[in-house]
Structure 1
Amino acid sequence: MRILLCVGAALAVSGCASTQTVLDKAPTEVFHSQKSVNEVAFCLSNKNNTPAMDRDDGSKVVLIKNGYGGVSLAFSIYPEGTGSRVEYRRQFGTIGGIWKQCIGLSDET
């Protein structure tokens, strides 16, 4: 029984994506927001209880991880005029639509 649990855990963890693997993927969707980078990043961080990471290019990244520490979703937020461009990358899993409020879209779920 212990071996079966170890094998199952190993398979679950091996399916987890690293941060860089997810960020290197093409965006699943791209959104343009009138909200600033800081406002969008704060909202996403607050709703998901995870920190926003500052990047050297002035962008911010918010990662949503699963219970095993693998990145499920990644939001890259870039300055764009007075607003921002949000690149959403989905590796696996589901997330409610409440995050869309953070970029100025209505909650569709």
Structure 2
Amino acid sequence: MVKGKAALIGAVLLSGCASTNEVMQMAPTQVFKSDKSADEVSFCLANRNNTVPMPRDDGSRVVLVKNGYGAVSLAFAVFPEGTGSRIEYRKKFGTIGGAWKRCVGIKPDKD
């Protein structure tokens, strides 16, 4: 009986999880411009989140931040723009510390 309840709870949690496609189709939560190259920004974001930047056909790179259940909670799309980059930040749910702001080239807010 306990295993059945655990499976049901897990199924409910996963059914509410956000997919990569769902998050990427959302309007950006914020857009940033950086003097840093798209390669540098995407590498930094991926390195801080223990993931790999995914190249896309449009020349951008996507860095996903997933929760413990494998659902995408945050997504960064990094586009080359001149010698710098444009970063589209999408937040589905969850929180993330301000360390990612250093990757973009802005100082994190003081708490």
What range is the shorter-chain TM-score in?
A: over 0.9
1:8 to partner: Cα distance: 1.0
- Aligned residue number for residue 97 of structure 1: 98
Identify unmatched segments of 5+ residues in structure 2: none
Aligned amino acid, residue 96 of structure 2 = I
Q: Deviations over 1:36-68 (max 9, x none)?
A: 000000000110000000111111000001111
Q: Percent identity?
A: 59
Aligned Cα root-mean-square deviation (Å): 0.9
Cα distance in 2 between the residues matched to 1:3 and 1:95:
33
Cα distance in 1 between the residues matched to 2:12 and 2:3:
14
Aligned pairs, how many? 109
Q: TM-score, normalised by structure 2?
A: 0.94
- Aligned residue number for residue 43 of structure 1: 44
1:101 to partner: Cα distance: 0.2
Aligned amino acid, residue 24 of structure 1 = Q
Instruction: Note the 1:1-109 alignment, pairs <5 A.
Output: 1-108=2-109
Q: Deviations over 1:70-97 (max 9, x none)?
A: 1010000011111000000001111111
Which stretches of structure 1, 4 residues or longer, exceed 6 Å deviation after superposition? none
Cα distance in 2 between the residues matched to 1:15 and 1:50:
22
Q: TM-score, normalised by structure 1?
A: 0.96
